[in-house]
Structure 1
Amino acid sequence: MKKIPKILPKKNSKWRTTAVSLIAVFIGIGLFLAKEGEVVSYMSDNPEACVNCHVMTPVYNGWMHSSHREWANCNDCHVPQDNVINKYFFKAKDGLYHASVFTLRAEPDVITMKEASQKVVQNNCIRCHVQQVTQTKYDGWIDNHAENRTERQCWSCHVEIPHGKVQGISTLQYNIAPLPTDQEEAVIPSWLEKETNK
């Protein structure tokens, strides 16, 4: 007959209770921050997710007034389109960088793209505008166009597309945060309505 060992009370039960409590607190804080930061919205292709950070308001407003608004959202230009894994990996990596800069209040006055983002945007410009890039009718009047069709960054000439003139955080006070574009009638804040009625 086998002898069944006695189950002795664990001496580490206090340590386990503390560890479980700490893990629960960290998970709770993480879920709270994810909810408040609207993390799930960043998984979508909705351009309004970009304005969860108010520093993006001038950039969003520039895009809203451009012709690109009808054809492309933020992710069409700023995220790789070669496969789903690469798309979401880049989105997560870039998003964590943006979130850390914004959280530390280290954002520059004028937002510019890093090298990795420049490559992605350049590839997406060419992907959508491949006919314009490969047409030979521009060879005569644009210097070195034939030789530099894909090497030159598109925005070296098309600097105001699609965000308009360079706008920085200092212009934010003159930008009204965007309203959802799917609303049928305009929503005017009460303070603005009072000011306009004076």
Structure 2
Amino acid sequence: MDWKKYLEKNSIKLILMGALAAVVGLAIAGGGIAYADKASFCSSCHSMKYVAATWQVSNHRQFTCGDCHLPQENIVEKLIVKNQTGMNDTYHEFLRDYPDTIKVSAKGRAIIERNCLRCHAHTVANTFMSTGGQSCTKCHRGMIHNQIVIKEGVHVE
């Protein structure tokens, strides 16, 4: 194999330009992914204004929407779920057919539960919650987004 033709000046320039383009592309993609996790992006939709406002005054306002609502164990799974939920949200936002009270899907609830336990594992370690199968959001669902919880026929904020 004749390596001289691969090491010509023009070939090296093309390789370096390709590598630079790849680095710039990855930086732009990474920045876009990070921005799409933030409340400023999520709350840009009409249907999320109330959700973002209630999060803003919660004890969890230091976390991004993605910290709670997207899988954190694996970047590939996170990107797949972000893409799926983003397309679904965009579709419903475009049609303006969101219900007055937005409900989390079963898949979304499972992701939220895992993320609650990821951060609060030490809190639940010595409680009945540690046995598994329990739901953080059953009792604490109003903590972040100020949803009304109905408990024994009484509305609790």
Scaled to the shorter chain, the TM-score interval is 0.5 to 0.7
Residue aligning to 2:15: none
Residue aligning to 2:51: 59
TM-score, L = length of structure 1? 0.55
Q: How does 1:61-76 map to 2 (within 5 A)?
A: 61-70=53-62, 72-76=63-67
1:114 to 81, 97, 105: 105
Residue aligning to 2:90: 99
8 Å contact from structure 1 (residues 80, 87) kept in 2: yes
TM-score, L = length of structure 2? 0.68
SS at match of 1:157: helix
1:67 partner amino acid: N
Worse overlay, 150-159 or 111-120: 150-159
| Deviation sequence 1:136-182 (CA, Å, 0-9, x none) | 4xxxxxxxx35x7531220111121111234xxxxxxxxxxxxxxxx
Percent of aligned pairs with the same amino acid: 31
Deviation at 1:99, TM superposition (A): 0.8
| Deviation sequence 1:36-60 (CA, Å, 0-9, x none) | xxxx856523211001101101110
Specify whether residues 49 and 41 from structure 1 end up closer, same or farther in structure 2 by C-alpha distance, changes over 3 A only. Answer: farther
Residue aligning to 1:152: 134
Q: How large is the Cα RMSD of the aligned pairs?
A: 1.9
For residues 55 and 150 of structure 1, the distance between their equivalents in structure 2, rounded to whole angstroms, comes to 33
The higher radius of gyration belongs to: 1
Residue aligning to 1:11: none
2:87 partner amino acid: L
1:159 partner amino acid: R
For residues 163 and 106 of structure 1, the distance between their equivalents in structure 2, rounded to whole angstroms, comes to 20
8 Å contact from structure 2 (residues 71, 78) kept in 1: yes
For residues 142 and 58 of structure 2, the distance between their equivalents in structure 1, rounded to whole angstroms, comes to 9
Specify whether residues 86 and 118 from structure 1 end up closer, same or farther in structure 2 by C-alpha distance, changes over 3 A only. Answer: same
For residues 43 and 94 of structure 1, the distance between their equivalents in structure 2, rounded to whole angstroms, comes to 16
Deviation at 1:62, TM superposition (A): 0.6
1:153 partner amino acid: S
Residue aligning to 1:84: 75
Structure 2: which 5+ runs fail to align? 1-30, 149-157
8 Å contact from structure 1 (residues 47, 73) kept in 2: yes
Structure 1: which 5+ runs fail to align? 1-39, 137-144, 167-198
Deviation at 1:102, TM superposition (A): 1.4
- Structure of higher RCO (CA pairs closer than 8 Å, 6+ residues apart): 1
1:85 partner amino acid: V
For residues 32 and 117 of structure 2, the distance between their equivalents in structure 1, rounded to whole angstroms, comes to 28
Specify whether residues 125 and 92 from structure 1 end up closer, same or farther in structure 2 by C-alpha distance, changes over 3 A only. Answer: same
